[in-house]
Amino acid sequence: MANRILTPKDKIIVPDYVGLFDRVLEEISPFYNEEAIRETKSRYTQEYIENNLRSDSERFIGHFTGTSLDGLLIEGFDNLDGNRTVIRWVMAGKKGKGIGTDLIMDCISRAKREHKDNVALGVSLKNTLARNLYKKLGFISGGTYINNHGLLMEVMGYIF
């Protein structure tokens, strides 16, 4: 098992990346609303990811078992609450096999190496399994907020 930040050399993997993203997004669609799902899908298209494999503002990480892509994590960066890495999405192709943990721990180590102040994420309050996993890995709750789609979310942070 290995994680890799996708680069322009990985263009060939992008269709699989989008396929995995859309499939897992469908699985968790009950936590969101139609508008949020539609907007998310229309943001992370094959073209968008291909054009952003060199981006300074977003990073696409893949989890591979052998050569097969079976997990993904999308990182963003901002300065809203310190110099932070934001986990925009983390998704495992097969659940409960350690893929999500591996991707998240790797993201935390990278953020530490890059001297970030914290790793933050927003998760639907309905996504109890994911929230429990973040808690287990050391994230603390920063409270709830309503996002731009009117959904009740919890902000969580891993502070160094």
Ligand X SMILES: CC(C)(COP(=O)(O)OP(=O)(O)OC[C@H]1O[C@@H](n2cnc3c(N)ncnc32)[C@H](O)[C@@H]1OP(=O)(O)O)[C@@H](O)C(=O)NCCC(=O)NCCS
Site string (27-46) toward ligand X, x via CB under 6 A:
xx------------------
CB atoms within 10 A of CB 12: 7
As given in the structure block, the two tokens for residue 103 are 């991707």
Residue 107, token pair as written in the block: 């993201």
Q: Judged by CB, which is closer to ligand X: 11, or 35?
A: 35
Q: Which is nearer to ligand X, 11 or 147 (CB)?
A: 147
Binding residues among 55-114 for ligand X as defined by CB under 6 A = 89-92, 95-101
Helices and strands counted in the chain (H then E):
5, 7
Residue 129 touching ligand X (CB under 6 A): yes
**Of 18 and 92, CB closest to ligand X:** 92
By three-state DSSP, how is residue 151 classified? Answer: coil
| SS3 (DSSP) at 11 | helix
Residue nearest to ligand X (CB): 100
- Environment class of residue 90 by beta-carbon count within 10 Å: exposed (0-12), middle (13-18) or buried (19+)? buried
Q: Which of 33, 22, 45, 31 is nearest to 93 (CA)?
A: 22
Which of 7, 33, 46, 132 binds ligand X (CB under 6 A)? It is 132
**Count, residues near ligand X per rule CB under 6 A:** 20
Interface residues with ligand X (CB under 6 A) are: 24, 27-28, 89-92, 95-101, 123, 127, 129-130, 132-133
